Amino acid sequence: MRALWQEVEAQLAALSEALAVESSSAARLTLPESLEHGDLTINHALVWARAAGESPRELAECIRARLAQSLAGVEVSVAGPGFVNIRLCPEILTRLLQEALRSPTQWGAGAARQGQRVVVEYTQPNPFKAFHIGHLMSNTIGEAVSRIIEAQGAAVVRANYQGDVGPHVAKALWALLAFPEAYSVEHAEDLGKAYARGVRAYEENEGARRAIEAINVRLYALLEGEKPKDAREEELLELYRKGREASLRHFAALYQMLDTHFDVFFFESEAAPVGKRIVEEGLRSGVFEESEGAVVFRGERCNPPLHTRVFLTRQGTPTYEAKELGLVRLKQDRIGPFDENITTVAVEQESYGKLIACVVGLLWPELAGRYQFLTHGLLQLTTGKMSSRTGEVITGESLLSDLRRRALEKMEGRVPPERREEVATAVAVAAVRFAVLRQGRGKNIRFDPEASLSLTGDSGPYLQYTHARLVSLQERAQREGVLSEDEAQREVVLSDVLSSGGWWCALPAEAQVVARLAIRFPLVVDRAHEEMEPSILAQYLLALAGAVNRWYDTEPIVRPRQEETLPRLAVLAAARTSLARGLTLLGITPLEVM
RNA sequence: GCUCCCGUAGUUCAAUGGAUAGAACGCGGGCUUGCGGAGCCCGUAAUCCAGGUUCGAAUCCUGGCGGGAGCACCA
State the nucleotide closest to A31 in CA–C1' terms: B16
- Pinpoint the residues of chain A covered by CATH 3.30.1360.70: 2-88
Chain B positions with a protein C-beta closer than 7 Å:
4-6, 11-20, 22-25, 34-41, 55-56, 68-75
State the nucleotide closest to A553 in CA–C1' terms: B40
Rounded, the Å distance between the CA of A350 and C1' of B69 is 9
State the nucleotide closest to A430 in CA–C1' terms: B38
Per-residue CA distances from A531 to A2, A87, A251, A328 (Å): 17, 26, 30, 25
Rounded, the Å distance between the CA of A30 and C1' of B34 is 38
Average per-residue pLDDT for chain A = 92
Q: What's the pLDDT tens digit per position in A555-581?
A: 999 998 888 899 999 999 999 999 999
Rounded, the Å distance between the CA of A307 and C1' of B74 is 16
Average pLDDT over residues A535-541: 97
Dihedral pair phi/psi, residue A266, rounded to 5°: -120, 150
| pLDDT exceeds 80 at position A391 | no
Q: Tally the C-alpha atoms within 13 A of residue A340's C-alpha that lie toward its C-beta.
A: 16
- Provide the pLDDT confidence category of residue A382 given band limits of 50, 70 and 90: low
Residue nearest to nucleotide B23 (CA to C1'): A458
What does the pLDDT read at residue A489? 86
Rounded, the Å distance between the CA of A42 and C1' of B54 is 19
Per-residue CA distances from A284 to A227, A281, A290, A295, A320 (Å): 30, 5, 10, 11, 20
Residue nearest to nucleotide B6 (CA to C1'): A443
| pLDDT exceeds 80 at position A23 | no
Tell me how far apart the alpha carbons of residues A244 and A126 are, in angstroms, rounded to a whole number. Answer: 9
- Please state the ipTM of this predicted complex: 0.96
Rounded, the Å distance between the CA of A373 and C1' of B55 is 40
pTM over 0.90: yes
Q: What's the pLDDT tens digit per position in A445-497?
A: 888 878 888 999 999 999 999 999 999 999 999 998 888 888 888 888 899 89
The helix/strand/coil state of A184 is coil
Residue nearest to nucleotide B13 (CA to C1'): A439
What does the pLDDT read at residue A392? 61
Tell me which residue of A572, A138, A57 sits closest to A342, measured CA to CA: A138
Average pLDDT over residues A271-292: 95
Average pLDDT over residues A76-88: 95
What does the pLDDT read at residue A487? 82
State the nucleotide closest to A477 in CA–C1' terms: B35
Q: What's the pLDDT tens digit per position in A210-268?
A: 999 999 999 989 998 899 999 999 999 999 999 999 999 999 999 999 999 999 999 99
- Calculate the CA dihedral of residues A469, A470, A475, A480 and round it to 10 degrees: 100
* Residue A453: Cβ-neighbour burial (10 angstroms; 0-12, 13-18, 19+): middle
| pLDDT exceeds 90 at position A387 | no
Task: Write the single-letter amino acid at A485.
Answer: E
Decide if A219 contacts A165 (C-beta within 8 A). Answer: yes
The helix/strand/coil state of A501 is coil
The CATH H-level (homologous superfamily) assignment of domain A2-88 is: Arginyl tRNA synthetase N-terminal domain (3.30.1360.70)
The neighbour count for residue A554, using CB atoms within 10 Å, is 12
Per-residue CA distances from A297 to A277, A311, A323, A360 (Å): 15, 7, 14, 12
Q: What's the pLDDT tens digit per position in A32-81?
A: 999 999 999 999 999 998 888 888 899 999 999 999 999 999 999 999 99
Q: What's the pLDDT tens digit per position in A119-129?
A: 999 999 999 99
Decide if A519 contacts A436 (C-beta within 8 A). Answer: no
What does the pLDDT read at residue A446? 83
Strands A340-346 and A371-376, how do they pair?
Answer: parallel
Instruction: Name the range with the highest mean pLDDT among A116-120, A287-291, A444-448.
Output: A116-120
Rounded, the Å distance between the CA of A157 and C1' of B69 is 30
Sheet of strand A294-297, all strands in order from the earlier edge strand to the far edge: A289-291, A294-297, A309-312
- Provide the pLDDT confidence category of residue A94 given band limits of 50, 70 and 90: very high
Tell me which fold the domain A396-585 belongs to.
Isoleucyl-tRNA Synthetase; Domain 1 (1.10.730)
Window from A144-153, A498-507, A518-527, A537-546 with minimum mean pLDDT: A498-507
Rounded, the Å distance between the CA of A35 and C1' of B29 is 29
- Pinpoint the residues of chain A covered by CATH 1.10.730.10: 396-585
What does the pLDDT read at residue A224? 85
Rounded, the Å distance between the CA of A305 and C1' of B65 is 30
DSSP codes, A341-397: EEEEEEGGGHHHHHHHHHHHHHH-GGGTTTEEEEEEPPEEETTEE-BTTTTB--BHH
The helix/strand/coil state of A154 is coil
Q: What's the pLDDT tens digit per position in A124-181?
A: 999 999 898 889 999 999 999 999 999 999 999 999 999 999 889 999 999 999 999 9
The neighbour count for residue A386, using CB atoms within 10 Å, is 18
The helix/strand/coil state of A314 is coil
Decide if A61 contacts A68 (C-beta within 8 A). Answer: no
| pLDDT exceeds 70 at position A189 | yes
Look up residue A417 and give its DSSP letter: G
Rounded, the Å distance between the CA of A546 and C1' of B44 is 21
- Provide the pLDDT confidence category of residue A383 given band limits of 50, 70 and 90: low
Residue nearest to nucleotide B74 (CA to C1'): A167
Rounded, the Å distance between the CA of A556 and C1' of B33 is 15
State the nucleotide closest to A551 in CA–C1' terms: B40
Q: What's the pLDDT tens digit per position in A355-365?
A: 999 999 999 99
State the nucleotide closest to A538 in CA–C1' terms: B14
